[in-house]
Amino acid sequence: MTTETETGAGREKLPRVLGPTEALCVVVGSVIGSGIFIVPAGVARSVPFIGGIALVWIVGGLFSMAGALTLAELGSMLPSAGGPYVYLREAFGKLPAFLFGWTEFLVIRTGSIATLAAAFGLNFAILVPAPPGLNFVAWQTTAAVAAIVILATVNIIGTRFGGRVQVIGTALKIGALGTMIVLPFALGKADPKLLSPAWPASYDRSILEGIMAAMISVLWAYDGWANAASLAEEIRDPGRNIPRALILGMFALIAIYLGMTLVYHMVIPLGEVMSPPLDNGAPRIVSVNFLRHLVGVNGGVIVALVIMASTFITLNGNALSGPRAYFAMARDGLFPRWLCKIDPRHQTPANAIIAQTVWAVILMVAASAFLLIQPPKGVHPVIDSAWAKLHEKPLYDVLLSYVIFGGTIFYGLSILSVFVLRAKRPDLPRPYRTWGYPITPLLYTAASLLLLGNMIWGKETRAESFAGLAVVAAGVPAYLIFSRHSDPIHPSG
């Protein structure tokens, strides 16, 4: 039988208020943010041939699908708040689980929120000029912080309310993307001849290096597929609805991303897609040029509106799902107790939502400060170099590598837990069993190790990777402090 530790039974529990539609929209709506609008330019620069570009998007999607197929078993088997935190705790013990939650809070989730909010703020600042005397980056940051705070408020008011916002927003963004895929054909402006070169004239090591660099960006665009598992405690009939949401969601995402990528390249010449970032450091938004080719000068305005709406809903998915890990840790006595307090009126983990919001805003403001303030000279070579690098990077890119590196470590360990739990807890009910087991989780694990190795040794991501490892390592003494006073929360009476 499932124990109290595994399900959260016998303790404060969150109500099951989300149905299958909300679960599916958490998967799809949390993943589709700004990536498909911005990432294609960098992918084309790293992989300057159409076959490789399509391959990267397909492989990245299949990689995420392998993870989703495995996570579906874990989520239906252990339907408790926190997702990967719970699986790591049951398979490997409290320390690895704590390190996930620690890194999730400091970098992975909050960094993802800050990055998405930066994309929202960028497009808001493009549409609405900054007031006189206010710097563009400062105005962008103001809009981004406002979006984070608004959606935190929505999800404090009610999980059901946040779920409804997610459903409506996801439907709108899929409708917008579907229209963009169909529009070139409807207007007779889709040219298959532009899908060239299909493959490079020759192959060398640089091809593989480019593919791995592109894969980091593509995985960022697919990031968020695990969000539904974190909400398992609040999803009705999790044994059915979690696997369905993860699997159907990933199929939809691969189809949408591949479709968008191909129509981009059937409308815009490859050389134009590969254009470098703008003079102000902002990333090149391929979809702007795409719609300008199709509908004229208003294309930029349309894309900015679509990206704003898309990232807003993705932020909502993160505000909805992210705090559940900190809530579960606090309920186990491994994080400050006030984080597992359930709001008596709204029945939401309000304190955990507030904590995530405050830290994401701090990251947002810090990233902006590095861009606005000129780097010092002569302080220390390491500080000088790090500050100069952060000063040059667009706000959208500052935290991307940290998010992907930290997420890859712990998602990989979470997927490995399926092997451990099949041996350790064969008695647990498994409404869904991983399709293709053991090949599927092994492929995800192997790909994770390859990606981590590439990020550690890659010149562009090495510094961020080691910084990410430092964040994880800093969690060890933090765990010793929290676990010393560990006492799981049980209900009164």
Residue boundaries of the structural domains of the chain: 15-484
Quote the CA–CA distance of 343 and 350 in Å, as a whole number: 6
pLDDT mean over 465-477: 85
pLDDT for the residue numbered 369: 76
For residue 145, which amino acid is it?
V
138, 133, 108, 130: which is closest to 360 by C-alpha? 108
- pLDDT above 70 covers a percentage of the chain that reads 86
- Asked if 315 contacts 113 with a C-beta cutoff of 8 angstroms, the reply is yes
Which of 44-48, 51-55, 111-115 shows the lowest per-residue confidence on average (mean pLDDT)? 111-115
Tell me which residue has tokens 């409807």: 186
- For residue range 165-209, list pLDDT tens digits in order: 999 999 999 999 999 999 999 999 999 999 999 998 888 888 988
Asked if 457 and 205 touch (Cβ cutoff 8 Å), the reply is no
Which token pair is 10? 């016998």
**What pLDDT does 202 receive?**
85
User: What would the two tokens of residue 333 be?
Assistant: 């006595």
Measured distance CA(289)–CA(292) in Å, rounded: 5
Question: Does position 449 have pLDDT exceeding 70, yes or no?
Answer: yes
Q: Which residue has the tokens 């969690």?
A: 475
* Residue 319: how many other CB atoms lie within 10 Å: 28
CB atoms within 10 A of CB 199: 13
What is the distance between the alpha carbons of residues 233 and 14, in angstroms, rounded to a whole number?
6
Return the pLDDT at 454. Answer: 77
pLDDT > 90 in the chain, percent: 57
Once rounded to an integer, what is the mean pLDDT over residues 212-240?
A: 90
| Angstrom distances, CA of residue 154 to CA of 19, 58, 111, 166 | 18, 35, 20, 11
Average pLDDT over residues 436-444: 93
SS3 call for 417 = helix
The model's pLDDT over 55-114, given as tens digits with 9 standing for 90+, comes to 999 999 999 999 999 999 999 999 999 999 999 999 999 999 999 999 999 888 998 898
pLDDT tier, 4 (very low <50, low <70, confident <90, very high otherwise)? very low
Matching residue, tokens 């159409």: 50
Write down the H helix ranges in 296-424. Answer: 299-321, 323-331, 350-372, 381-392, 400-424
Single out the residue of 490, 385, 401, 411 nearest to residue 454, CA to CA. 401
Average pLDDT of span 326-344: 93
**DSSP-assigned states of every residue in 225-280:** TTHHHHTGGGBSSHHHHHHHHHHHHHHHHHHHHHHHHHHHHHHS-HHHHTPPPPTT
Residue 451: its H or E element? helix 439-457
Contacts of 185 (CB under 8 A, 6+ apart): none
On whether the CB atoms of residues 245 and 252 are closer than 8 A, the answer is no
Query: What is the DSSP secondary-structure string of 307-328?
Result: HHHHHHHHHHHHHHHTHHHHHH
Tokens of 397: 């890119």
Helix/strand/coil for 393: coil
Q: Which of 77, 73, 81 is nearest to 8 (CA)?
A: 81
Count CB neighbours of 1 within 10 A: 7
Give the pLDDT of residue 1. Answer: 36
Run of H or E including 182 = helix 159-186
Quick one: which of 484, 324, 458 has its CA closest to 404? 458
Mean pLDDT value across the chain: 86
Q: Is 81 helix (H, G, I), strand (E, B) or coil?
A: coil
Distance of alpha carbon 48 from alpha carbon 58, whole angstroms: 16
Question: What is the DSSP secondary structure assignment for residue 17, as one 8-state letter?
Answer: -
3-class secondary-structure state, position 115? helix
- How far does Cα 430 stand from its chain's mean position? 27
Q: Report yes or no: 325 and 99 within 8 Å, Cβ to Cβ.
A: no
Cβ neighbour number for residue 296 with a 10 Å cutoff: 9
Quick: pLDDT tens for 308-328. 999 999 999 999 999 999 999
365-423 pLDDT tens trace: 887 777 666 666 766 665 556 556 655 665 455 555 666 777 888 999 999 999 999 99
| Span 15-484 CATH architecture | Up-down Bundle (1.20)
User: What is the CB neighbour count within 10 angstroms for residue 273?
Assistant: 23
HSE-up of 488 (CA within 13 Å, CB side)?
13
CB–CB of 295/179 below 8 Å?
A: no
What does the pLDDT read at residue 361? 94
CA angle (257, 262, 264) in 5-degree steps: 95
Q: What is the pLDDT of residue 486?
A: 63
As a whole number, mean pLDDT of residues 418-436 equals: 94
Q: What is the pLDDT of residues 257-312, one digit of tens each?
A: 999 999 999 999 998 888 765 544 456 678 888 988 898 767 778 888 888 999 99
* 41 closest CA partner among 210, 275, 209, 261: 275
In this prediction, residue 468 carries a pLDDT of: 76
